[in-house]
Structure 1
């Protein structure tokens, strides 16, 4: 009898404090290869903080994160883990003085990759803007450019914070197709959004509606 597959990402009783308040606490989730999760909850409930925590920008105040069965609090593992993650957030990191092509190709070169920028721009419908400066792009075009980096630089875990904001209906369809194709290839996606995004066979992780002001109990603090 085969053992069940080991989940790629596990959060166990994860909590995070900011400015002396507990923003999230006791968050539990499991994500397997090809999986998707929709993060729901009102503004200020901790969805964006949780995505930033999963991206490695901040560490949990308590609880445990596992990647491929390994505890990320172990020395050096966070550095390896960060190379497996894409975070799409409110800051798009688009340089206005650089061309549309350069805004993707720069990051591709940093990864030691080549050849993915042009197909990614074409897929997102902005290939004809490749030689134009980033400064001329509309909000929707900037979002498409931001999403193009996901395609040019393959990584298994996508953390998407309001990825459909600024997109028209065609852009939302492209986003949905991207996520579907990514999952078919074994990738994973966590999506926090107030605008409906079509996901198939997804889990729903609900966040609380308020901040906590109590102190955390000792439940395995990160160092």
Structure 2
């Protein structure tokens, strides 16, 4: 299994932000997208995950193979930690949630309502969802936001276990993920060129 992105161009709000993006991530590999805020990392991930259309290019992997985690944690505040994970396990028909609870050290919080968790605990719960999806491709946007050093370590261990099981991971961040072995791709060379102004536009500048 591999994720092959070919000559991909993406837009935010109708304005092209990245063009000609190309890379391959194979089973057992992790790729980290780097770039400053506003450079198009989130837009690229959302396009690859099938959440918005591309302007051009091709993503050579079925979207059903991917699990996406964005800036929102994707949890229900009134449900307990256990109930949140069980909901997603039922959606993806993957069965038990104990490995996910253990991976992010949530066992002691399992019966607590998610709305009562700290920001870091909510993030750990949101990331634990990835484990219960059973999907081989994790697409993660700024996954370690709100995590302390210990929790970043748990995240890195979970990703390594996923890779060891034949999965792959595509992540975007501008901070350390604790995964020194991951390949890094700078999105700056793919920045879209500014559209040329025609004479009518120029008259108003």
Same fold (TM over 0.5): yes
With normalisation by structure 1, the TM-score equals 0.82
2:43 is aligned to: 49
- Does 2:194 align with 1:213? yes
Q: Is the 8 A contact 1:45 1:211 kept in 2?
A: no
CA RMSD of aligned residues (A): 1.7
**What displacement does 1:106 show?**
0.5
Counterpart among 156, 171, 177 of residue 136 in structure 2: 156
**What displacement does 1:211 show?**
5.8
* CA–CA distance in structure 2, aligned partners of residues 202 and 118 of structure 1: 27
Counterpart among 109, 124, 130 of residue 90 in structure 2: 109
Counterpart among 141, 144, 156 of residue 121 in structure 2: 141
* CA–CA distance in structure 1, aligned partners of residues 42 and 74 of structure 2: 17
* CA–CA distance in structure 1, aligned partners of residues 93 and 20 of structure 2: 38
* CA–CA distance in structure 2, aligned partners of residues 202 and 128 of structure 1: 31
* CA–CA distance in structure 1, aligned partners of residues 103 and 161 of structure 2: 12
Q: Which aligned runs of 4 or more in structure 1 are off by greater than 6 angstroms?
A: none
Secondary structure of 2:18's partner? strand
* CA–CA distance in structure 2, aligned partners of residues 137 and 180 of structure 1: 26
Deviations 1:185-213 (A, max 9, x none): 11111121122112254322111286643
- Does 2:21 align with 1:27? yes
1:174 is aligned to: 154
2:76 is aligned to: 95
**What displacement does 1:23 show?**
1.4
- Number of aligned pairs? 195
More helix by share: 2
Secondary structure of 2:150's partner? helix
**What displacement does 1:183 show?**
0.9
Q: Is the 8 A contact 2:103 2:158 kept in 1?
A: no
2:199 is aligned to: none
**Unaligned 5+ runs, structure 2:** 197-205
Q: Is the 8 A contact 1:21 1:212 kept in 2?
A: no
